[in-house]
């Protein structure tokens, strides 16, 4: 018995190491593909800096300053060289280091997306369990309907309605930004974050809720549960002692997959609420053809996706060694 477990652990470790090693070539490949795609797309970022007074030489000087006069492959190598030393270059739009700006915006985005994730999980799991326990009763039906509405609601629309009701008509909540000027309290930030968080969470809550519900229901019909019933356990006990674990495990996979979303943020929500996160940084970058910034954000998002997947797989294997982590 012990030997088996040890052997499986070794297999898991080998698998994980292999996946980690795959990370580097994958990232490299992604950077190449992204670079090519972005640079080959038509558009010229220098043009957004041209003012009427400039002569063609002035424009060329700006281009050279941005490093855009070099042949493409050289630009890529130069970028790669810098990245390896941790330098992601300077934004073409405001001349500040890309990495600094990304790091600056991270807390706002992580805060928003993190709370949205947490809210989705808490409400999603909670409501899903309730739905499953009271299957087909009125509360289940109501929650199900709400769930369908939740996943079908256009985010933009919900945002507009919320702003209209809570900010304009009722004046309970602020409508833009992350904080009130001059106020430095956490509660202030939370107040600003309520509406964006809600808009982001509605869809996920619904998704988790339905998933948990169907998963719980099917688990409750499994043999091992029936055995527990035979021993006289109540539905509730069975739920929390045995079923929950099996129901929640797959959630980990979903979580892992939603990691890049956490970072790139929901650009629509961030734009409407003027939330200073990665989403708006990304949009500005793409519209302004800010190549270094685009590369920076893409690399980070890719890195997180791969790591997220890896974590999900690893957690899956670790938490329940019965499940083969091998594909």
Partner 1 sequence: MLRKRISWVIALLLVVSLLAAACSSKQTEPSATADPSSATSGSSSVQGGNLIVAIKDDPKTFNPIYAGDSMSLTLGNVLFAPLIRMNGDKKEFVLAESLTASDDLKTFTLKLREGLAWHDGQPLTADDVVFTFNSLLDEKQHSYFRGSFVFEGTPMQVTKVDESTVQFVLSAASAAFESSLVQIYPIPKHIFEGEADLEKSEKNYSPVGSGPFKFKEYRAGEYVIVERSDTYFSDKAKLDSITFRIAKDNSSAVLALQNGELNVLRIEPQNYNKVKESGKSEIALFPSGAVTTIVFNQNIDVMKKQEVRQAIVHALNKEELIQAGFTSTEFAEPASSIFSPGTLHLKTDLKSYEYDQNKAKELLKAAGAEGLKIRYAYFNASTPETNMALYLQQKLQEVGLQVELIPLDAAALNKKALNKDNTDYDMSFGGYNMGFEPDAYKVLYLGDAAYNFSHYKNAEFDQWWLQAAVETDEAKRAKLYEQIQDLSADEVTTYPIAYGKSILAVDKQFGGADEAGADAVTVFDDFTKIYKK
Partner 2 sequence: MNRMRWKLLSAQLLERKSALIALIVLGLLGLAALAAPFVPFDPNKINLGERLFPPDSRHWLGTDDNGRDYFARALYGARVSLSVGVLAMIVSVVIGTTVGAISGYFGGRTDSLIMRSIDILMSIPSFFLMLILNAYLKPNIFTIVLIIGLLSWMSLSRIVRAETISVKEREYVLHAKVSGQSPLRIIVRHIIPSIVPTIIVAATVNVAGVIMMESALSFLGLGIRPPHASWGSMLNTAKGYIGENPIMALVPGMLILTTVLCFNYLGDVFRAAFEPKTNRR
**Interatomic CA distance for residues 326 and 313, integer angstroms:** 9
Q: Which residues contact 210 (CB under 8 A, 6 or more apart)?
A: 128, 144, 147, 151
Residue 197 Cβ vs partner 2, minimum distance, rounded to whole Å: 19
Stretch that binds partner 1, among 78-86, 97-105, 134-142, 210-218 (CB under 8 A): 97-105
Are 143 and 130 within 8 A, CB to CB?
A: yes
- From the list 31, 4, 12, the residue with the least C-alpha distance to 303 is 31
For the segment 47-66, give every residue that binds partner 1 (CB under 8 A): 47-59, 61-62, 65
**Residue 46 structure tokens:** 């220098």
Stretch that binds partner 1, among 71-79, 204-212, 229-237, 241-249 (CB under 8 A): 241-249
Q: Does 230 bind partner 1 (CB under 8 A)?
A: no
Residue 312 Cβ vs partner 2, minimum distance, rounded to whole Å: 12
Cβ closest to partner 2, residue 91 vs residue 302: 302
Q: Residue 37 touches which of partner 1, partner 2, none (CB < 5 to 8 A by kind)?
A: partner 2
Q: Does 86 bind partner 1 (CB under 8 A)?
A: no
Q: Residue 90 touches which of partner 2, partner 1, none (CB < 5 to 8 A by kind)?
A: partner 1
Residue 120 Cβ vs partner 1, minimum distance, rounded to whole Å: 10
Q: Residue 284 touches which of partner 2, partner 1, none (CB < 5 to 8 A by kind)?
A: partner 1
**Interatomic CA distance for residues 306 and 290, integer angstroms:** 24
For the segment 112-131, give every residue that binds partner 1 (CB under 8 A): 112-115, 117-119, 121-122
Helix 2-40 and helix 72-84, axial crossing angle in degrees, nearest 10: 140
Residues that bind partner 2 (CB under 8 A): 22, 26, 29-30, 33-34, 37-38, 41-43, 135-136, 148-149, 151-154, 156-157, 160-161, 163-164, 168, 214, 217-218, 221, 260, 264, 267-268, 271-272, 282-283, 286-287, 294, 297-298, 301-302, 304-306, 309
Question: How many residues in the shown chain lie near partner 1 by CB under 8 A?
Answer: 81
Q: Concatenated DSSP letters for 160-221?
A: HHHIIIIIIIS--S--SSSS-TT---HHHHHHHHHHHHHHHHHHHHHHHHHHHHHHHHHHHT
**Residue 258 structure tokens:** 């939603």
Q: Concatenated DSSP letters for 232-295?
A: T--HHHHIIIIIHHHHHHHHHHHHHHTHHHHHH--HHHHHHTT--SHHHHHHHHHHTT-HHHHH
């Amino acid at each position: 018995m012990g030997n088996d477990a040890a052997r499986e652990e070794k297999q898991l470790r080998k698998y994980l190491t292999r996946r980690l090693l795959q990370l580097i070539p994958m990232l490299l490949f992604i950077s190449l593909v992204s670079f090519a795609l972005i640079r080959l797309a038509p558009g010229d970022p220098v043009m957004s800096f041209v003012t009427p007074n400039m002569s063609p030489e002035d424009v060329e000087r700006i281009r050279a300053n941005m490093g855009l006069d070099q042949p493409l492959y050289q630009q890529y190598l130069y970028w790669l060289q810098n990245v390896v030393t941790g330098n992601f270059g300077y934004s073409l739009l405001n001349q500040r280091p890309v990495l600094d700006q990304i790091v600056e915006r991270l807390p706002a985005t992580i805060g928003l997306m993190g709370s949205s994730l947490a809210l989705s999980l808490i409400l999603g799991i909670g409501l899903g369990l309730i739905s499953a326990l009271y299957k087909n009763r009125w509360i289940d039906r109501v929650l199900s309907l709400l769930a369908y509405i939740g996943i079908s609601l256009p985010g933009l629309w919900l945002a507009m309605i919320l702003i209209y009701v809570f900010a304009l008509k009722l004046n309970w909540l602020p409508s833009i930004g992350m904080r009130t000027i001059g106020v430095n309290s956490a509660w202030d930030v939370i107040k600003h974050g309520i509406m964006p968080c809600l808009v982001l969470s509605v869809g996920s809550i619904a998704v988790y809720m339905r998933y948990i519900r169907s998963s719980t229901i099917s688990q409750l019909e499994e043999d091992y549960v029936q055995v527990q019933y035979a021993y006289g356990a109540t539905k509730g006990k069975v739920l929390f002692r045995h079923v929950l674990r099996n129901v929640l495990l797959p959630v980990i996979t979903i979580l892992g997959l939603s990691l890049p979303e956490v970072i790139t943020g929901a650009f629509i929500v961030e734009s409407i609420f003027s939330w200073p996160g990665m989403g708006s940084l990304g949009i500005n970058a793409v519209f302004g053809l800010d190549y270094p910034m685009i590369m920076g954000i893409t690399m980070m998002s890719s890195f997180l996706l791969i790591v997220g997947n890896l974590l999900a797989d690893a957690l899956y294997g670790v938490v329940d060694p019965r499940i083969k982590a091998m594909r």
